[in-house]
Structure 1
Amino acid sequence: MVGLQHQQATELGRVEPVAVTSNQIAVPPAPMGWASWNTFAAKIDYNVIKGQVDAFVAAGLPEAGYKYINLDEGWWQGTRDSAGNITIDESEWPGGMSAIADYIHSKGLKAGIYTDAGKDGCGYYFPTGRPAAPGSGSEGHYERDMLQFSKWGFDYVKVDWCGGDVEGLDAKSTYQAISDAAAKASATTERPLTLSICNWGKQNPWNWGAGMAALWRTNTDIIFHGNAPSWTSMLANYDANVHPSAQHTGYYNDPDMLMVGLDGFTAAQNRSHMNLWAISGAPLLAGNNLATMSTETANILKNPEVIAVDQDPRGLQGVKVAEDTTGLQVYGKVLSGTGKRAVVLLNRTSSAQNMTVRWSDLGLTGASATVRNLWTRSDVGSFGTSYTVSVPARDSVILTVTGGTEAASTTYEAEAAANTKAGSAANATCANCSGGTKVGGVGNGAANTLRFNSVAAGATGTKVVDIAYTNGGSAARTARLQVNGQQATTVSFPPTGSWTTPGTVSVVVSLAKGSANSLTFSNSSAWAPDLDAIEVRPLPGANGTQVVGRQSNRCLDIDNNTITNGIQAQLWDCQGGENQSWTNTSRKELVVYGNKCLDAYNRGTSDGTRVVIWDCNGQTNQQWNVNADGTITNAGLCLDASGATTANATKLVLWTCNGGNNQKWTLP
């Protein structure tokens, strides 16, 4: 059971929430600010940064919500004194690094700094404007460096992966050590130090980043030094950012810095860039030269309605809810409050197209809702079931849909005993509960586990779960959430004001069709939130299906939520995760993560051809026939569990159809 101690709960008279969504608690927003790399690479010093700070303030970016000034690579060339402390070239940084941090703070802003997880940083392996700098990483000095950054006055640290990658370090344990060091430094100086993990999506940080850092990179650099910004690179980083269940309660997927305002991007491309980052709820870190920024660029960066979508207090990531025609994609994001959605209509094709967003795909009923265009900043009307608009080629439109009626949801009240509450749809069980006390009200310092059993879903796919809780403390408390047997994630529960004032935070989960789902919250500490109930909301446009082997009763699965092109599909226990939720499109595709297609590798047509995932491209090796006899075929061959085995991790291949049950599949 996850909860505060029993004595405390009963003395304070904990109350049940009237409705799970009655008091949405704002979670820490994704960072907004400016970072030096995209414009200056390693050529930074005090005067460069001071000039950008002054331009940042003059442009009115702080009033728009931007607050971080982040120094990237190049501020340090890897020198240390005999005690191991970082030493600085004070001809470039007069007064040392504390002086620039103080200047940033004097403007009411927050200061960020940069290092590498390895011994040698990116400036050693990829020198850009400065000589190769050995020793410019923090490996072996994590605690010393994090404390130094905090003492200098920095509020944010980005930790890159050049050295870590070359050295073959384990990313999860390495960044955990860095996270621990940052937390220790913060406790010593009483200055919170926001950690940004920058390992480019290597080793799947979306599986373990939440609770370790505020944000983690999901792909390579959006622009490499010396290259011009491109529509293609922007979409590539956006597409790699498809991990909605990882992003919640103040933890964010990071598709990298903005290219808005860089030479080579048009105003329309800048707006689309903002649209896509906003619907993702991504960090907004500008990278253009602020001293030469045009008024047009400044206004794009400062659009308050687009920023409000990005910074929405619910803190969720938008998901793809429709692609009726290849390249015409509709993304929806659940906003705070009731009946509110943000929508991006993305036209990837080479001609203008009419595009439609349907309320039903967004989890709303057919009741009338108001549509607003966020760039014209005007309402376009009230519509009953959908809205259609022309979207230019390689462009997008961002909207809000408000005033709609939420589709039916289900509330699961947490009880120590079996269901007795009217309308309850599931059992909730707990370990270490005492005396039949309401679940969520005990703890006694023991390892606590609360499980919501028999959670129902009408279809496999993405749902929004609102979690009702109380936290009368002064700081956020955490619990680990595991859905079915999927990868667990750390959920943060900010203070609600008192132990008698319930609030809610939200997460995105992927459930399996049926009523066998379970959501388990656990915490090994008495310092846990007091959980009351959950409410499960559908997002029908993000529904898929599991593909279940008849012989194995296991699911078509992509290992460890990996999104890399070429990873081979396998069998695994059915858990309903994003890596097992497949959309069978009218184009005969089987799509996972919203943008990866099941693919016969290299257009293979022979026995043993590996079946992998790849960017959807419309080729025939991504077109599958789902047949009445249970087979799934491509190029006349059957999707086959290799060797007719049934074990987890059995790889999938194409093979001559032979009627075997290892070639038969069910799409429930």
Structure 2
Amino acid sequence: MPLQHFAPRTRRLGRAVLVRTAVLAMAAGALAGLQHQQATTPDRTEPVALTSGQIAVPPAPMGWASWNTFAANIDYNVIKAQVDAFVAAGLPAAGYKYINLDEGWWQGTRDSQGNITTDESEWPGGMNAIADYIHSKGLKAGIYTDAGQDGCGYYYPTGRPAAPGSGSEGHYEQDMLQFSKWGFDYVKVDWCGGDVEGLDAKTTYQAISDAAAKAAATTGRPLALSVCNWGKQNPWNWGAGTAALWRTNTDIIFHGQSPSWDSMLANFDTNVHPSAQHTGYYNDPDMLMVGLDGFTAAQNRSHMNLWAISGAPLLAGNNVATMSTQTRDILTNPEVIAVDQDPRGLQGVKVAEDTTGLRVYGKVLSGTGKRAVTLLNRTSSAQNMTVRWSDLGLTGASATVRNLWTRSNVGSFGTSYTVSVPAKDSVMLTVTGGTEAASSTYEAESTANTKGGSAVNATCANCSGGTKVGNVGNGAANTLRFNNVTADATGTKVIDIAYTNGADAARTAVLQVNGQQATTVSFPPTGSWTTPGTVSVEASLAKGSSNTLTFSNSSAWTPDFDAVEVRPLPGANGTQVVGAQSNRCLDINNYTIINGTDAQLWGCGGGENQSWNNTSRKQLVVYGNKCLDAYNGGTANGTRVVIWDCNGQSNQQWNVNADGTITNVGGGLCLNATGGETANGTELVLWTCNGNNSQKWALS
């Protein structure tokens, strides 16, 4: 088919004007004729506001999982008793839907055809019977396996004998189909076997994801995939589009241990990947410890606060048959749950830490002028803590503050709110009615639609000369690129994407920002090909007007795009540290968060792994909680420069000097590119200051 060009037309959405690209009138998977649209003159008297057409994305899963209380000691009667108590406690009415069986339901046995077999003395009627019982209560059922040949029950038996063969390797399609036929709606895939065998997590879980999709297509029952490889091999880089959720750290509690404040914070601290969480894909800091023995009511509330501000899955792990009224009330607080389940589906980020240990987190909620805030006091004494509207991306206009645990409005405040937070505790608020700070909109005014995917240059309104290449509307190898997108500072921004999807299912496209790690974005149906909607992502942009947002797709049908709107989130701003000799940035490879990861040079893209906060405490902080560190307090030439949990020590303090050098307070040596090299991947070390350009840096 020859290329067909489309002129823009206007559409009013509330008070906003959307300039539309071509509308494709087609059903999912079916090619329809392309409709030529008449041009009209856009009305520029009103700003485009994309938030008014927000589409609710699939929320983070809520439910209950068996592991934290029962380990591998589960059977039909145990699960049935928990289901009955779960319903009686009113958890389904609060939004909890899943009952997830963890390890222990299967001891690795298969029949001659390779089908999983189970002990029917423990599971009378087979696994479909327990799934049917769960469904009879209006709930969804989850099950568990391992990506390797042998599962966790073999390597770490807990409550049952070691069980060889209790993984799905070599049987991915067979097992996913079996789970779906039994009636399960969710499958958690662990990594014990995969880890021991040295499997590649990305390709392994993609094969499992493909198998789950094939099973769902066969049975008609969607099978949500939960990746559980404990944050190894950086699943936040590839999880979106592969799974509904992926673990970002080790188990929050190991069986037999008591829950602790520190273990909760450790998992929360590594759940710092806002660019990965969007449009129904979720970072997972692990199951809740709320209600487990040893946790106080205050700790339980803080646990809920931190998971909710993260928009994390809420999977209770306590014994619901014996839980107290207090625990039930904490788990079912509707206002905290509403923050977690917000239809925009974004992750909260750290927006301030004026004093060490006093951290403020903000989450952008659906609608306009709405934020959730968690004030976390990690210190050993009560402290006054302040949230500033400006850090949240709001102006100084008055906004209403509400405490979500007292469930009462505190009052209206003009620019900030201060409250006393007890030691090792938190306060959760909403700030509503505020005025959004100024944003920038980039509209696709004219385009070329290409069935075969040829790249055709066209214009992009408000893009400062940028281009839109092709149209991700149908066909293969389409690309939509917004050039010259401006950011006033390096750091995390909220990007609203206006589109139409008249199909009856979500469609996807891949978003890449400035050559950073790409992410798959899902676009739910908007109702018709003439009804626009908006979804949101968070992305880290570089300071200046040279940012590029690229949407692409290799083969599948995708939505039709309208515009993007970039919203500031000033509290998440940082700075790039640029080498004078290399013109490359201080970078942490592949968005890795592990303590001891070497700092390196890499081409500047403004990603979260290149956005550093130069604090008043002389720290250079990345990801909100990892400090640039002279490894092991080293003071000799060649000392590695790494990231580590911020601890206030002098080997994590840096002087940014007027001559462009950055010297470590602990040793007085200069931050230096190894050997004066300039290539991507060059590691950074400490070295005696010598005036060379390999030791000169600009904070931009």
TM over 0.5: yes
Paired amino acid for 1:401: V
Find out whether 1:429 has 2:467 as its counterpart. yes
- For residues 611-630 of structure 1, the aligned pairs below 5 Å read 611-630=641-660
What secondary structure, in the 3-state scheme, does the structure 1 residue paired with 2:568 have? strand
1:409-434 deviations in Å (ceiling 9; x for gaps): 00000134699787x24445343x4x
What secondary structure, in the 3-state scheme, does the structure 2 residue paired with 1:206 have? helix
Looking at structure 2, the residues matched to 161 and 601 of structure 1 have their Cα atoms a distance apart, in angstroms, of 30
1:549-572 deviations in Å (ceiling 9; x for gaps): 000000000000000000000000
Q: Report what 2:263 is aligned to.
A: 233
Q: Report what 1:10 is aligned to.
A: 35
Looking at structure 1, the residues matched to 514 and 351 of structure 2 have their Cα atoms a distance apart, in angstroms, of 23
1:569-600 deviations in Å (ceiling 9; x for gaps): 00000000000000000000000000000000
Looking at structure 2, the residues matched to 167 and 662 of structure 1 have their Cα atoms a distance apart, in angstroms, of 41
Q: Report what 1:405 is aligned to.
A: 435
1:530-565 deviations in Å (ceiling 9; x for gaps): 010000000000000000000000000000000000
Displacement, 1:5? 5.2
Looking at structure 2, the residues matched to 491 and 14 of structure 1 have their Cα atoms a distance apart, in angstroms, of 30
Paired amino acid for 1:429: T
Contact 1:5 1:526 in 2 (8 A): no
Looking at structure 2, the residues matched to 24 and 355 of structure 1 have their Cα atoms a distance apart, in angstroms, of 32
Aligned residue among 411, 435, 448 for 1:381: 411
Gaps of 5+ in 2: 6-20, 26-31, 448-456
1:43-69 deviations in Å (ceiling 9; x for gaps): 000000000000000000000000000
- For residues 161-310 of structure 1, the aligned pairs below 5 Å read 161-310=191-340
Q: Report what 1:360 is aligned to.
A: 390
Paired amino acid for 1:173: T
Q: Report what 2:154 is aligned to.
A: 124
Paired amino acid for 1:314: R
Q: Report what 1:524 is aligned to.
A: 554
What secondary structure, in the 3-state scheme, does the structure 2 residue paired with 1:387 have? strand
Looking at structure 2, the residues matched to 446 and 650 of structure 1 have their Cα atoms a distance apart, in angstroms, of 37
What RMSD over aligned residues (CA atoms) do the two structures have, in Å?
1.7
Paired amino acid for 2:359: Q
Q: Report what 2:364 is aligned to.
A: 334
Contact 2:24 2:560 in 1 (8 A): no
Aligned residue among 76, 90, 100 for 1:60: 90
Displacement, 1:523? 1.0
Looking at structure 2, the residues matched to 526 and 233 of structure 1 have their Cα atoms a distance apart, in angstroms, of 42
What secondary structure, in the 3-state scheme, does the structure 1 residue paired with 2:572 have? strand
1:46-97 deviations in Å (ceiling 9; x for gaps): 0000000000000000000000000000000000001000001000000000
Q: Report what 2:453 is aligned to.
A: none
What secondary structure, in the 3-state scheme, does the structure 2 residue paired with 1:491 have? strand
Looking at structure 1, the residues matched to 498 and 370 of structure 2 have their Cα atoms a distance apart, in angstroms, of 19
Find out whether 1:641 has 2:663 as its counterpart. no
Q: Report what 1:372 is aligned to.
A: 402
What secondary structure, in the 3-state scheme, does the structure 1 residue paired with 2:51 have? coil
1:596-650 deviations in Å (ceiling 9; x for gaps): 0000000000000000000000000000000000000012100000000100000
Paired amino acid for 1:637: L
| Distance of aligned partners of 1:639 and 1:141 in 2 relative to their CA distance in 1, 3 Å threshold | same
Higher relative contact order (CA 8 A, sep 6+): 1
Displacement, 1:3? 8.1
TM-score calculated relative to the size of structure 1: 0.97
Contact 2:51 2:366 in 1 (8 A): no
1:15-36 deviations in Å (ceiling 9; x for gaps): 9996322210000000000000
Looking at structure 2, the residues matched to 247 and 347 of structure 1 have their Cα atoms a distance apart, in angstroms, of 25
Contact 1:116 1:138 in 2 (8 A): yes
Paired amino acid for 2:196: V
Aligned residue among 84, 94, 104 for 2:134: 104
Paired amino acid for 2:479: T
TM-score calculated relative to the size of structure 2: 0.92
Looking at structure 2, the residues matched to 178 and 341 of structure 1 have their Cα atoms a distance apart, in angstroms, of 37
Find out whether 1:662 has 2:694 as its counterpart. yes
Contact 1:4 1:528 in 2 (8 A): no
Paired amino acid for 2:628: L
- For residues 515-664 of structure 1, the aligned pairs below 5 Å read 515-525=545-555, 527-634=557-664, 635-664=667-696
Contact 1:318 1:331 in 2 (8 A): yes
Aligned residue among 484, 490, 493 for 1:454: 484
Contact 2:446 2:459 in 1 (8 A): no
Paired amino acid for 1:480: V
| Distance of aligned partners of 1:494 and 1:594 in 2 relative to their CA distance in 1, 3 Å threshold | same
Contact 1:210 1:247 in 2 (8 A): yes
Paired amino acid for 1:22: S
4+ long deviations beyond 4 Å: 1-9, 11-18, 417-422
Looking at structure 2, the residues matched to 11 and 18 of structure 1 have their Cα atoms a distance apart, in angstroms, of 24
Contact 1:419 1:426 in 2 (8 A): no
1:234-285 deviations in Å (ceiling 9; x for gaps): 0000001000000000000000000000000000000000000000000000
Contact 1:456 1:514 in 2 (8 A): yes
Paired amino acid for 1:557: D
Displacement, 1:14? 11
Paired amino acid for 2:642: V
Gaps of 5+ in 1: 434-438
Aligned residue pairs total 659
Looking at structure 2, the residues matched to 612 and 19 of structure 1 have their Cα atoms a distance apart, in angstroms, of 42
Paired amino acid for 2:271: N
Looking at structure 1, the residues matched to 463 and 177 of structure 2 have their Cα atoms a distance apart, in angstroms, of 50
Looking at structure 1, the residues matched to 620 and 168 of structure 2 have their Cα atoms a distance apart, in angstroms, of 44
Displacement, 1:309? 0.1
Looking at structure 1, the residues matched to 178 and 359 of structure 2 have their Cα atoms a distance apart, in angstroms, of 46
Paired amino acid for 2:610: Q
Looking at structure 2, the residues matched to 102 and 526 of structure 1 have their Cα atoms a distance apart, in angstroms, of 35
Bigger drift between 517-526 and 22-31 goes to: 517-526
Q: Report what 2:510 is aligned to.
A: 480
Looking at structure 2, the residues matched to 13 and 138 of structure 1 have their Cα atoms a distance apart, in angstroms, of 55
What secondary structure, in the 3-state scheme, does the structure 2 residue paired with 1:81 have? coil
What secondary structure, in the 3-state scheme, does the structure 2 residue paired with 1:609 have? coil
Q: Report what 2:501 is aligned to.
A: 471
Looking at structure 1, the residues matched to 433 and 66 of structure 2 have their Cα atoms a distance apart, in angstroms, of 41
What secondary structure, in the 3-state scheme, does the structure 1 residue paired with 2:154 have? helix
Looking at structure 1, the residues matched to 35 and 83 of structure 2 have their Cα atoms a distance apart, in angstroms, of 52
Paired amino acid for 2:581: Q
Looking at structure 1, the residues matched to 526 and 616 of structure 2 have their Cα atoms a distance apart, in angstroms, of 46
Find out whether 1:349 has 2:387 as its counterpart. no
1:462-482 deviations in Å (ceiling 9; x for gaps): 000000000000000000000
Q: Report what 2:115 is aligned to.
A: 85
Q: Report what 2:144 is aligned to.
A: 114
What secondary structure, in the 3-state scheme, does the structure 1 residue paired with 2:321 have? helix
Find out whether 1:490 has 2:520 as its counterpart. yes
Looking at structure 2, the residues matched to 618 and 608 of structure 1 have their Cα atoms a distance apart, in angstroms, of 22
Looking at structure 1, the residues matched to 433 and 463 of structure 2 have their Cα atoms a distance apart, in angstroms, of 28
| Distance of aligned partners of 1:61 and 1:654 in 2 relative to their CA distance in 1, 3 Å threshold | same
Looking at structure 2, the residues matched to 587 and 135 of structure 1 have their Cα atoms a distance apart, in angstroms, of 52
Paired amino acid for 1:262: L
Looking at structure 2, the residues matched to 4 and 259 of structure 1 have their Cα atoms a distance apart, in angstroms, of 48
1:346-403 deviations in Å (ceiling 9; x for gaps): 0000000000000000000000000000000000000000000000000000000000
Q: Percent identity?
A: 84
What secondary structure, in the 3-state scheme, does the structure 1 residue paired with 2:221 have? coil
Q: Report what 1:436 is aligned to.
A: none
Paired amino acid for 1:82: S
